[in-house]
Amino acid sequence: MTGLLDGVVVPLVTPMSAPGVPSTDAGEPLLRAMAETGVRRLMLLGSNGEGPLIPASVAAEFAREATARWHALVPAGTVLVNVTAPGTDEAGRRASDAAAAGADALVLSPPTYFRHRDDEVVAHYAAMARYGLPVVAYNTPARATPISPACVDALVGLSHVVGVKDSSGDMDVLRYMIEAARRRPDFAVSQGDEQRLAEALRAGADGITPGTANLAPLLALELAAATDDATLDRLQSLTTQLTRLHGVRPGVPSVKALLSAEGLCPPHTAPPLAPCTDEEIRELTRVVAPLGRYLLRRDS
């Protein structure tokens, strides 16, 4: 399947009906608003989706329900499911669950916790071929072994690996990936670093996967579609402004607090993550207020 990483992939937060309890029903307003805004591609259970904090059996059920709901809302839409795990066996279990859930593709970082040699990383990706879905490699050096240039070259040679999402923040790494991708027409590159979205698109990235798209998907869609430097710079500046919310409270709790204020998604997170305080919510609201027209609303 081609086009999996084109334009915008929203790395969706995981709606929860209670702390640690994923619920597609609780996220119905969010999914509907995303669809109405023009979003076509979702990534489930990544870092924004608290995937590492959700047990595999629970994640499988959520992936099944959320995938079915998204395909009903957006018949031509796609769902990528992150199956990253510390080892190949556990990643394989999650990959099998994602395939059974109807996912369109898998997202997979190198194994977490331990640092691994290049040959081990490549073997990890090669093992995913048996699950019959396209695989997007996920380069997130802060959480897993970095995908080296040698690994990039090897991954381009694996037919079931169809692209890479890079969250390294290193433009030299991203440019190497873009250059390597030219050897395969169906291999794509997506930028995950919210500070360098415009720079990546100028360099030839196929798309972007910013966590900020949970709050402002229209901003991400306009940025990905921009064709002139002035527009790219303006929209990147707004995106950078939006990321200041993480100076109030880093990560998923701040995003969910703002979505909850709009009635789009409950504020619940998976333990040990704790919800934002009232004081943090007031400050978050102040920080994002200038982005008003881009912020996702329940009636978007």
pTM of the model: 0.96
* Closest-CA residue to 31 (of 18, 45, 17, 41): 41
Which of these is catalytic: 113, 125, 131, 165? Answer: 165
256 tagged catalytic: no
Q: What is the pLDDT of residues 201-231, one digit of tens each?
A: 999 999 999 999 999 999 999 999 999 999 9
131 tagged catalytic: no
Which of these is catalytic: 125, 131, 138, 176? Answer: 138
Domains and their CATH numbers in the chain = 7-214 (3.20.20.70)
Instruction: Please tell me the predicted confidence (pLDDT) of residue 299.
Output: 72
For residue 88, give every residue at least 6 positions away whose Cβ sits within 8 Å of its Cβ, in sequence order, or none.
111, 123, 124, 127
Instruction: Report the distance separating Cα 179 and Cα 197, nearest Å.
Output: 17
Q: What is the pLDDT of residues 43-98, one digit of tens each?
A: 999 999 999 999 999 999 999 999 999 999 999 999 999 999 999 999 999 999 99
Instruction: Report the distance separating Cα 254 and Cα 275, nearest Å.
Output: 8
Q: How many CA atoms lie within 13 A of 94 on its CB side?
A: 30
Instruction: Please tell me the predicted confidence (pLDDT) of residue 300.
Output: 52
**pLDDT mean across residues, the chain:** 97
Cβ atoms of 167 and 140 closer than 8 Å = yes
